[in-house]
Structure 1
Amino acid sequence: MNSHRELASSKYKYMRKRIIPQELEQSATDRQGWLDLQQHALVEVTSEHEAHPIEAAFKDAAQGEAGWKASQPGKQTIRLLFDEPQTITRIKVLFEEKDRERTQEFVLRWLPEGEQPYREIVRQQYNFSPPHATTELEEYAVELHGVSALELSITPDIGGGNVCASLAQLRLR
């Protein structure tokens, strides 16, 4: 019996579809315009662990990269200084914490070309509570034109705990 006839016997209507592996889905997303930050920006970072450099946060999570981690506890800043002013319409940040309970705050700011000071995009706090709440994924739709710099400040524990900041992924479109 052909597969269309088998489907007709079910309660669902016909739909053309196929299952794609996740890695193919992710590569399609990249083709849709995620900015190659390694090619278009200079990165300033307050610290980085040698086993978890900042460039690991700019790669796909599917590539098995562990992301960026600070080498020392406390508030950290990641600043992208673009070679040419950019138009940014989407910002994706992914944070993970599998070991300790804490409340993290992050602030995203941008710097318009030829202007000062930085303008705040978002300020957000999130409670990590392993083993249940271990991931924070945020995607923001924005309309930022003439972006000369983007800054992410992370306070890994607003309670003052001795915690190193980390960032699993940062993507811009």
Structure 2
Amino acid sequence: MLKYINRSLEQTINTLIDITAYSRFGVPVRAIDIAKRQHLSLSRMEIVLSALKSAYLIRAAKGRRGGYYLAKDPQSMTMKDVFLAVNHFRSRKVVIADFAKEIVESFESYMRDCLSKIAVASSSKHARTRPFQIEIIPAWDSQKYQLQEISKKGKWDTQSVLITKAGLQKAEKLGPNSIFDFSNYLQ
């Protein structure tokens, strides 16, 4: 079990927390925005999102303002669901002896029980991903700030037009310009 808790699972958990934090009121979050916040490539983010989508933890909205949003309430999602979404298709490559197999299976069941007790909503509260801080604008003080009218002409306030007329010039014929015109030139 510990072998399978790797960077992939960490990225998946962080992605799900990011979607929980940034998809307020059902507004979808774009994959490129999640990838930038997680410092991942877009192709890697698409792999993580497809694993979450195939486990029915998130849904995709198509279109210009599309993106990804949660499929269920974050209170009902557990870390066990995320773990099973990532490690669902992996098969074990190591054959374990009978005694060690029982220990590993009991440890896996213990870890699954622990993960099923952790809700995604509670972990999103403690996440390090925060929305950008909004600067507080001070209240308007009419004594401090006086409005002054500045009469300054802009660059495009006046326009001058220059009218030019080109006269036709008759070009002298110096010679024929083709073999068919040569007969006219001789006349």
Shorter-chain TM-score: what band? under 0.3
TM-score after normalising by structure 2: 0.21
Bigger relative CO (Cα 8 Å, ≥ 6 apart)? 1
Q: Report which of the two has the higher share of helix.
A: 2
Larger radius of gyration: 2
Q: Report which of the two has the higher share of strand.
A: 1
